A and B are shown apart, each in its own frame.
Chain A
Amino acid sequence: MEKHSTEQLNAVCSQVRRDILRMVHACQSGHPGASLGCTEFFVALYFDQMKHDSSFNLDGKGEDLFFLSNGHISPVWYSVLSRSGYFDTEELKTFRKIDSRLQGHPATEERLPGIRVASGSLGQGLSVAIGAALAKKINGDDRLVYALMGDGEQQEGQIWEAAMCAPHHKVDNLIASIDVNGQQIDGPTKEIMNLLDLKSKWEAFGWEVIVTENGNNITEVIQSLEKAKTLLGKGKPVLNLLHTDMGYGVDFMVGTHKWHGVAPNDEQLENALGQLEETLGDY
């Protein structure tokens, strides 16, 4: 895959953010907040880091795989998948509408290219990623498995079952990231159910833990993922604490849980799009 410049990647990010806002606005539902916050991460994965094939084979043999555990941020994933060739960007118009392949939360039943398992009910994606990583080991496939979770999702018990399992089985072909934005539906994570020191917790469970201080800086995100790769193959999985700002890129949405699952109205959309350059052409 040809390497994209930082400028090119940032241009993709701007377009992806426009897609997210327009998709959520069009159906007046969906989750813009963390979709905007994780845009750099998704663009880094699909436009720089992963070896992947947009013609899409569900088994993904010989490819790097990505699993989204916090499925509600489907807008960013759908946009990035379409912008990297998995399906026509025109299909983004159908998001959350009847007869669409772009379900509110990612699903396999409608055969949308790029999706390998349903997610939405939280806490399940890391376990699935571990299974896929174990299958790669059995198959002698040396490509990697990536997963993304939310920070609020760390309150689910299954996460910690999976956290225990991966080091025990030496799943050292797995890079899991947590979108640490400090927000969940009802408010700041500190107030809802304090996560305390995630770094110490994951280290105590046997993971190599790295921190991406600014997950909205594409260069820093790529550096972190590069560093993560150097830590693999040594018997331990890697956990990346990806600090982002929910709502990043739109001044009135940034840094608050209020835009977790709320769609902008016409006026808000216009205001938001005015802050984001149309770089690749709106769908």
Chain B
Amino acid sequence: MEKTLDTKYTYTEKKDTRSGFGDGFLEVGKKNKNVVGLCADLIGSLKMGAFQKEFPDRFFQVGISEANMMGVAAGLTIGGKIPYTGTFANFSTGRVYDQIRQSIAYSEKNVKICASHAGLTLGEDGATHQILEDVGMMKMLPNMTVINPCDYNQTKAATIAIADHEGPVYLRFGRPKWPIFTPADQPFEIGKAWKMIEGTDVTIFATGHLVWEAVVAEAMLREEGISVELINIHTIKPLDTAAVLASVAKTGCAVTAEEHQYNGGLGDIIAQTLVRNQPAPQEFIGVDDSFGESGKPEELLEKYGLNAENIVKAVKKVIARK
């Protein structure tokens, strides 16, 4: 169905965002000799093997001990290293929240927490691994930057860019093969929202995998005569407040789309920004206070209301509320 739509962005290939991370990690390792890697027994899943092979002296397999990994990473910054930690998003956040809070965020350590297999699209492994609360936990921490890129190319660009940012970063990406619809040579500016499509009736703020669903939704809505502005929020914190307010000032309403709980995610921070500055109707695409389950990524996005069809419904609803 997607193929027959006249989407503003198209793709010829699908690839997993974790591969974007792995390829970006190797590239940034070549560029910056201070970049080092740590992994808690998931080198294959995180695609960190190429870096490990190229720079064995700058890579530390720490085994299944994520708490220790966060501490060791914090220590490596003392001496000028830029550690990238690798494990699943669940074990990168909830399992090690106190370690990140004290040894990294409060201590202002230059650690890059690289978290794969985030969200429902992890798929068959089910709810134990499908973390939907990680963005909330990380964005609550003072000093923490939170980035959730949308495809292979953007993930690769983000992975390279964060090395030049002094301070802790949470970089969230995923497992499934996903359309590559953004350019390979894109600049990545942390904290700068990307207006992908201009429109006048509604603004969709999307992050991560759901940016593609929003691209599809825009094409569906355009066929019905609804003009959508689509903004890619790759950096959830710090939020590009100026871009958010400028767009909603024009369109008068917003839909947020994310592979995360309503509670604590992108929708929350957009709502907070609007309420504080220029209240406007908003609808939320996200998981409604529940855990996930096993299934194929597309099946899960449909069941939990996170696909293009649901974005279309939310847009119609929010426009009616204007």
Binding site for B on A (CB under 8 A): 58-61, 65, 67, 107-109, 116-121, 123-136, 138-139, 141, 157-158, 161-162, 164-165, 168-169
Contact = CB atoms under 8 A, between A and B. Distances in A.
A60 B75 CA distance: 12
Nearest to A107: B106
Interface string B42-68: 000000000000000110101101011
Contacts of B101: 121
Contacts of A132: 75-76, 78-79
A141 B76 CA distance: 13
Contact of B67 (A58, A60, A141, A161): A161
Nearest to B105: A118
Interface in B237-291: none
10 contacts: A60-B79, A117-B78, A119-B102, A124-B98, A128-B75, A131-B74, A132-B75, A134-B72, A161-B65, A168-B63
Contacts of A158: 65, 67-68, 71, 99
B71 A162 contact: yes
B109 interface: yes
Contacts of A108: 106-108
Nearest to A130: B72
B79 A135 contact: yes
Given A127-B103, A164-B68, 20 more contacts: A58-B78, A60-B78, A60-B79, A61-B79, A65-B78, A108-B107, A116-B78, A117-B109, A123-B67, A124-B71, A127-B99, A130-B71, A130-B75, A131-B72, A138-B81, A158-B65, A162-B68, A165-B65, A165-B68, A169-B60
- Most chain-B CB neighbours within 10 Å: which of A60, A117, A133? A117
Interface string B70-112: 1111111111110100000000000000110111001111000
8 A-B pairs closest in CB distance: A131-B75, A127-B71, A135-B79, A161-B68, A161-B65, A131-B72, A128-B75, A132-B75
Contacts of B63: 161, 164-165, 168
Interface string B297-310: 00000000000000
B57 A138 contact: yes
Nearest to A106: B107
A24 to B, nearest CB: 23
B184 to A, nearest CB: 32
B36 interface: yes
A134 to B, nearest CB: 6
B102 A120 contact: yes
Nearest to A120: B102
Contacts of A139: 79-80
Contacts of A129: 75
B79 A128 contact: no
B73 to A, nearest CB: 6
Contacts of A168: 63
A165 B72 contact: yes
Contacts of B65: 158, 161, 164-165
B79 A109 contact: no
B67 A133 contact: no
Contacts of A130: 68, 71-72, 75
